[in-house]
Structure 1
């Protein structure tokens, strides 16, 4: 069943597809097989891996992104497998075995992937879930088991997905397989502290994108479980949990940048409940009953999960347990505050308040601006990196030169300049080409947005001012490339100059 939609391939992806098709008769059989895989991926939506340490809440976040509680979140055999969620015209789940064979399995009674697959888990490569879900028309979401697991097999599966494992099928050597395997972008989930293995995972992502570094083009960080942060431990938070989470996310962004575009706080459980239909009218009525309790009882119950479920009150303990499982104490507090402010609030409006409180909207917005808006460029750049890696691994100097020459012809075309910009941004983000901090920041800004005002660092300014500034910076970078730059900097400067010049033309025409 194809996952391609009417959006794919985009113009840049189509150009790289033509390049691969034209090169296939000119390269070895092994390289041509790798090109075939590149072509298949170019015709599909952007592949986004949700990665991070074990128990960071990845699967819960996946459910929130998809808007359906389909990924298993309880510890079980499925949580030790890589699962690819992609668009399909009929909902179904397939177990893909290491020998390439497949077996369909039914969803469980709640519409999720079953906890017990009924197969030998050691023989399973990964799961493929096809869903009739609009979100998946232009993004394939890949749920990973997580790094830091005590289960070595789970870690191996994740590393294979990220491109660091050994070749499993013997058809391609490890370098070739890594060149065509893995995700094109990553949503990296952290909790309260960034650790060495977080940086290791982002380094592993380099292999997943054929040695293209994770960076602001293709990686976003998410601080999950933001409601568990002790606000009193974060300076400047003023005992406000969400403010504490925002400040902590900014600190983590400082540690992980430029490997990620940003780090955003989110409460995955609250987002999952609000987005997946788990929050019901009955839940809203139970919350309304809780809101009617006297203040002292309410405050006592909200002190801890144990007190919330065990304290004597009119609302049944089972109902309170269900609310706790779906909202946790933070979400319950948010709901009660909303009811206090608007006693007649509907269940639908209350669900929307909870979604707003989860921080999911900001994550979805960044997915749109960082991934979706430049998906064609991300896919094309990753494909070119794969093509280059395949040619280099062949050991044939003539083949390598033919591929190199074909790529240079493609990149020389004006319509392919976005690929040059993404390449420049990646080199600067990785530290492969160094600039003074202010110039490095400017390169990152120009390449990390599709909004002209944001690219120019002048949000909210009048178009005339944007036009003038774009021309001024185009001239400055042209001069710098000729007189003030090292050879490596000069190559980047030429790209930035061209980006500003094209931006100037775009703004004038608008």
Structure 2
């Protein structure tokens, strides 16, 4: 048994592509075969999720919350200019990979984080191996801030996101894109660049989710319909951002990564809870004045030492402190653990994690298999005979009934990227069928009885079959046949009791 065979594949689609890849290695050139071996390695690895965004968008703080450990440096420094890959290992260790391929093992710093300064020349990137269980399913790739710092930082990220320049199979398979209050033109450009990150597959609702971070900084009075509520304002802004980024991302979710990091990584301690209790004991007017600004909070005269207040501000910011104090007003006996849950709930991180599970974890098999097929196609782009053999083998695989998910992901990518143009209502329908995990959601009929769901699925299957045969362009017909098949399979699942 080889090392690869002893590792877990994401599911049956990855297994089928791995079998195809192994079989093709005997039919292609040595150089292409070597690339296929790398594809096999990637198929056996966890889904690779890149966290990307602009400088100071809170990417690294969100990475720490995702991992459940404060290990990624969050202050701008040498390490935030480097690509860092966080992956599962049986022993915690840091490997600094140099540009000449050599590796050097470094210890974590005294606080358990990656050292802010590496003291090494010619560093390519950092590989961090951690025992955190979440990394069994996801390899998390922290990328340098874009549109920032220097050209070299951006170039390193672009290098990570460009499998053709490194090898045809390098780069992430999915992306969590972090934005703050304003989506800019280069945010769109960065998401478009993930065409390269996903082995020449466009970033779209299958493999991309966005987080609207630092929503505690939103001025609710500036957002119509918020009724002065910060979180309602954040939800409204996130919905607007989703429209701007559509269809590049499956969703835009509001989050406060600082609160998520403090709650998820153990940064919030019983000493912090004690300090918050002492603040809650102050009179309401004093507290209101202190929470007006960071300077007032740390400089105001009170019996909680200024240094303690500064640490609270670093961990929770004014919004988190205010939420914790309000919770203590309502229930003075809250324990440190209960306060941590209050802060976690206030962060919005639970919704982000649930969406990542629904979009990435539940579809890892299809995402990884589709990325691998794109890589195989790219690798065999040279000699015509080799290219034809690979193409024919892929077509045979895609003709199998169990490979329909790959066809659906391909159709979704074609539509979301604009490569195939449909009427807006049909585009919306394709995105819904391909992007939503539950059957009623795919049909756009959440909460309806099963009989109605069955009838609608069968009706839409017939419509898309007719559209494919009469009136569609060849490219549209290719998508329409896939959508017809998707509806038919939904109908079959409903008949078989696939939805209760």
TM-score calculated relative to the size of structure 2: 0.97
Contact in 2 for aligned 1:45/1:138 (Cα 8 Å): yes
SS in structure 2 of the partner of residue 94 of structure 1: strand
Contact in 2 for aligned 1:273/1:327 (Cα 8 Å): yes
| 2:448 counterpart residue number | 461
Residue among 202, 207, 225 paired with 1:218: 207
| CA–CA distance in structure 2, aligned partners of residues 16 and 434 of structure 1 | 29
Deviates more, 1:460-469 or 1:408-417: 460-469
| CA–CA distance in structure 2, aligned partners of residues 33 and 245 of structure 1 | 48
Written as runs of structure 1 = structure 2, the 5 A alignment for 1:274-293 is 274-293=263-282
Measured after TM superposition, the shift of residue 192 of structure 1 is: 1.0
| 1:333 counterpart residue number | 322
SS in structure 2 of the partner of residue 180 of structure 1: coil
| CA–CA distance in structure 2, aligned partners of residues 509 and 249 of structure 1 | 38
Measured after TM superposition, the shift of residue 462 of structure 1 is: 2.2
Deviations 1:90-125 (A, max 9, x none): 1111101111111111111111111122312xx111
Deviations 1:143-176 (A, max 9, x none): 0112112222211111111117xxxxxxxxx46x
Measured after TM superposition, the shift of residue 228 of structure 1 is: 1.0
Written as runs of structure 1 = structure 2, the 5 A alignment for 1:112-127 is 112-120=113-121, 123-127=122-126
| CA–CA distance in structure 2, aligned partners of residues 155 and 3 of structure 1 | 33
| 2:131 counterpart residue number | 132
| 1:321 counterpart residue number | 310
| 2:109 counterpart residue number | 108
Contact in 1 for aligned 2:10/2:364 (Cα 8 Å): no
Deviates more, 1:472-481 or 1:68-77: 472-481
| CA–CA distance in structure 2, aligned partners of residues 230 and 117 of structure 1 | 39
| 1:170 counterpart residue number | none
| 2:415 counterpart residue number | 428
Residue among 255, 263, 267 paired with 1:266: 255
| CA–CA distance in structure 2, aligned partners of residues 267 and 237 of structure 1 | 18
| CA–CA distance in structure 2, aligned partners of residues 189 and 218 of structure 1 | 14
| CA–CA distance in structure 1, aligned partners of residues 16 and 482 of structure 2 | 20
| 1:155 counterpart residue number | 154
Written as runs of structure 1 = structure 2, the 5 A alignment for 1:239-388 is 239-388=228-377
| 1:34 counterpart residue number | 35
Written as runs of structure 1 = structure 2, the 5 A alignment for 1:27-106 is 27-106=28-107
Measured after TM superposition, the shift of residue 412 of structure 1 is: 0.1
Deviations 1:444-472 (A, max 9, x none): 11110221111111112222222222222
| CA–CA distance in structure 2, aligned partners of residues 180 and 400 of structure 1 | 17
Deviations 1:225-249 (A, max 9, x none): 1111122222222222111111111
Contact in 2 for aligned 1:31/1:391 (Cα 8 Å): yes
Listed as ranges, the gaps of 5+ residues in structure 1 are: 165-173
Deviates more, 1:14-23 or 1:304-313: 14-23
1:230 equivalenced with 2:229 (yes/no): no
Measured after TM superposition, the shift of residue 10 of structure 1 is: 1.5
Written as runs of structure 1 = structure 2, the 5 A alignment for 1:485-500 is 485-500=472-487
CA distance 1:412–1:456, change in 2 (3 Å): same
Listed as ranges, the gaps of 5+ residues in structure 2 are: none
| 2:140 counterpart residue number | 141
1:199 equivalenced with 2:188 (yes/no): yes
Contact in 2 for aligned 1:90/1:131 (Cα 8 Å): yes
TM-score calculated relative to the size of structure 1: 0.95
| CA–CA distance in structure 2, aligned partners of residues 463 and 6 of structure 1 | 40
| 1:171 counterpart residue number | none
Q: Please, what is the CA RMSD of the aligned residues?
A: 1.4
Contact in 1 for aligned 2:4/2:41 (Cα 8 Å): no
Deviates more, 1:106-115 or 1:268-277: 106-115
Deviates more, 1:257-266 or 1:474-483: 474-483
| CA–CA distance in structure 1, aligned partners of residues 274 and 449 of structure 2 | 49
